[in-house]
Amino acid sequence: MRDRLQTAETVADSDDFIDHETVSVSVLVVGAGAAGARAAIALADAGVEPLVIGKSDHGDAHTTWAAGGINAALGSLDPEDDWTVHAADTLDEGHYINDPEAVELTAKHMPDRIRELADWGMPFDRTEDGKINQRYFGAQSFRRTCFVGDRTGEAMLDTLVAKARDMDIPYRDNVMVTRLLTDGERVAGAMGFDMESGEFVLFRSDHVVLAAGGSSALYERHSSREDENNADGPALALGAGARLMDIEFVQFHPTGMVGARYGEEWDGRLVTEAVRGEGGRLINADGERFMEKYSPDQMELDARDVVARAIAQEIREGRGTDNGGVYLDISHRDDQYITDRLPSMYERFQSLGVDITEEPMEVAPTAHYSMGGVDIDFATGETGVPGLYAVGETVAGVHGANRLGGNSLAETVAIGKLVGEHVAEVVDDPAPPVTDSQRALAQREFHALADLADSDGQVTARELLADLGDILWEHAGILRDEASLREGLAELDALRARTADLSIDGDRTSRDFEFAVDLSFSLPIAEAMLRGALERTESRGAHYRTDYPDTDGDWRRNIVVSEEPTGLDLRTRGVAEPSPEVQDAVDTGYELDYHHLE
Strands (E), 259-360: 281-283, 326-329
Q: Is 276 marked active-site?
A: yes
Q: Which of 146, 74, 81, 112 is nearest to 585 (CA)?
A: 81
The residue from 276, 281, 348, 480 that is catalytic is 276
At 223, give phi and psi (nearest 5°): -100, 5
Q: Which of 353, 328, 336, 214 is nearest to 271 (CA)?
A: 328
Rounded to whole angstroms, the Cα distance separating 255 from 528 reads: 26
Q: Is 221 marked active-site?
A: no
Rounded to whole angstroms, the Cα distance separating 12 from 519 reads: 23
Alpha carbon separation from 236 to 240, 319, 552, 561, 563 (Å, rounded): 6, 43, 32, 14, 11
CB-count burial class (<10 Å; 0-12, 13-18, 19+) for 386:
middle
Rounded to whole angstroms, the Cα distance separating 233 from 563 reads: 15
Q: In what helix (H) or strand (E) does residue 177 lie, and over which residues does it extend?
A: strand 175-182
Beta bridge partners of 283: 327
Beta bridge partners of 244: 374, 561
Rounded to whole angstroms, the Cα distance separating 155 from 175 reads: 24
Alpha carbon separation from 275 to 258, 288, 402 (Å, rounded): 16, 18, 20
Name the DSSP letter for residue 285.
Answer: T
B/e letters for 305-336, b = 16+ CB within 10 Å, e = fewer, are: bbbbbbbbebbeeebbbeeebbbbbbeebeee
The residue from 20, 222, 253, 531 that is catalytic is 253
- Residues carrying an active site annotation: 253, 276
